[in-house]
Amino acid sequence: MENFLQDYMTMLKVERNLARNSLESYERDLQQYHQYLKTELKLKTIRNVTLGHIRSFVRKLSNRGLAANSIKRAVSSIRTYHNFLSAEGHMKDNPAQLLDTPKIPRKLPNVLTIQEIDKILGIIPENAPMAQRDLAIFEMMYSCGLRVTELCDFKTSDILWDSEMIRVQGKGSKQRFVPIGPIARENLKNYLNHERNTLADKNPNVAEVFLSRNGRKLTRMMIWVLLKKWTESAEIKKEVSPHTLRHSFATHLLEGGADLRSVQEMLGHTDITTTQIYTHLDKEHLKEVHRTYHPRFN
């Protein structure tokens, strides 16, 4: 069974050019699936798998209390894996063809208000160590709607000063261009001129813009830690993650009158239905304004 899985992972990497995080998720889901087939169902070959076997694995995930989104992702991984096995002739029939995808209630993402954004960015003291770096990071994430991985992978060659744009390497190595506003540009210049050179001296071969104290590329986890630190300092009680800044970017654009297609382009969404969740957020905002200011709610 392992050989089939390795062949499948190679296909995803070479032919579909999936991002590293997506590949890791696929492999993790399918390794758990293989382990279940071998240890609990005692199957010796993937060719003996039936729809009932797959459904029993999905039930096991549910009984473990796994989040609905995680179960949905596992189902998607199994379905595409069996599609591959069937297409390659490793299985006569595709047992996952009739597998139902769990219905996930649409949850509106958490966003910050403009005042809360200002509070977090304003709490970073000018003279603190790495303050210019941290300010540049979170100004850029909010100004450009970047995913945390996109921020970590951002290189000096991706800054297009003359056109006031940045080049972003998105999911699946898809490239997009996003405007960078004057405040984010100024903070980025301050960091590059005053802090990055010192950090880069410790590790001159690193091309990424945002570096740790030892001159290495910043990790996703470090961005989380830094944001948590400044959010707590600003006494923001909401749950805030790097993705919250991206959600806030999209929401504030739509509240300000931006059209959905432009927001889709800046976020790097392939399908506009992914972007449409922010129209629901915008409606929630309108209802909140109505509740707050209409005299019949007083």
pLDDT tens-digit profile of 72-101? 888 988 998 999 999 888 888 889 888 877
User: Could you tell me the pTM of the whole model?
Assistant: 0.64
Compute how many other C-beta atoms are within 10 angstroms of the C-beta atom of residue 255. 16
Label residue 157 by pLDDT band (50, 70, 90): very high
Q: Identify the weakest region by mean pLDDT among 140-149, 182-191, 220-229, 254-263.
A: 254-263
Q: Determine the average pLDDT of the residues in 206-229.
A: 94
pLDDT of residue 277: 82
Question: Does a structural domain hold residue 100?
Answer: no
Question: Does a structural domain hold residue 98?
Answer: no
Distance between alpha carbon 232 and the CA centroid of its chain, in Å? 22
Label residue 107 by pLDDT band (50, 70, 90): low
Q: What is the CATH number of the domain that holds 282?
A: 1.10.443.10
Question: Does a structural domain hold residue 200?
Answer: yes
Which of 87, 104, 135 terminates a domain? The answer is 87
Residues 68 and 165 in one domain: no
Q: Determine the average pLDDT of the residues in 241-254.
A: 93
Q: Determine the average pLDDT of the residues in 166-174.
A: 88
Residues 137 and 272 in one domain: yes
Residues 82 and 149 in one domain: no
Residues 123 and 267 in one domain: yes
> Which one-letter amino acid corresponds to residue 4?
F
Q: Determine the average pLDDT of the residues in 2-29.
A: 83
Residues 177 and 216 in one domain: yes
Question: Does a structural domain hold residue 101?
Answer: no
Which of 49, 71, 87 terminates a domain? The answer is 87
Question: Does a structural domain hold residue 54?
Answer: yes
Q: What is the CATH number of the domain that holds 15?
A: 1.10.150.130
Residue 218 in contact with residue 152, Cβ under 8 Å?
Answer: yes
Residues 247 and 151 in one domain: yes
Residues 130 and 58 in one domain: no
Question: Does a structural domain hold residue 102?
Answer: no
Residue 230 in contact with residue 134, Cβ under 8 Å?
Answer: yes
Q: How many domains does the chain have?
A: 2
Residues 79 and 118 in one domain: no
114-120's contacts with Cβ under 8 Å and 24+ in sequence apart are 114/252, 116/234, 116/236, 116/238, 117/142, 117/245, 117/248, 119/234, 119/235, 119/236, 120/227, 120/230, 120/231, 120/234, 120/236, 120/240
Q: Quick check: 2 pLDDT over 70?
A: no
SS (H, E, C) the chain: CHHHHHHHHHHHHHCCCCCHHHHHHHHHHHHHHHHHHHHCCCCCCHHHCCHHHHHHHHHHHHHCCCCHHHHHHHHHHHHHHHHHHHHCCCCCCCCCCCCCCCCCCCCCCCCCCHHHHHHHHHCCCCCCCCHHHHHHHHHHHHHHCCCHHHHHCCEHHHEECCCCEEEEECHHHCEEEEECCHHHHHHHHHHHHHHHHHHHCCCCCCCECCECCCCCECCHHHHHHHHHHHHHHCCCCCCCCHHHHHHHHHHHHHHCCCCHHHHHHHHCCCCHHHHCHHHHHHHHHHHHHHHHHCHHHC
Domain hosting residue 10, numbered range: 2-87
Annotated catalytic sites, by residue?
Answer: 147, 171, 243, 246, 269, 278
Query: How many Å apart are CA 26 and CA 228, to the nearest integer?
Result: 29
Residues 281 and 240 in one domain: yes
On average, the pLDDT of the chain sits at: 88
Which of 27, 52, 87 terminates a domain? The answer is 87
Question: Does a structural domain hold residue 103?
Answer: no
Label residue 36 by pLDDT band (50, 70, 90): very high
Residues 267 and 180 in one domain: yes
Q: Quick check: 298 pLDDT over 60?
A: no
Residues 8 and 146 in one domain: no
Take residue 195 and report the two structure tokens written for it: 């802090």
Residues 80 and 118 in one domain: no
Question: Does a structural domain hold residue 123?
Answer: yes
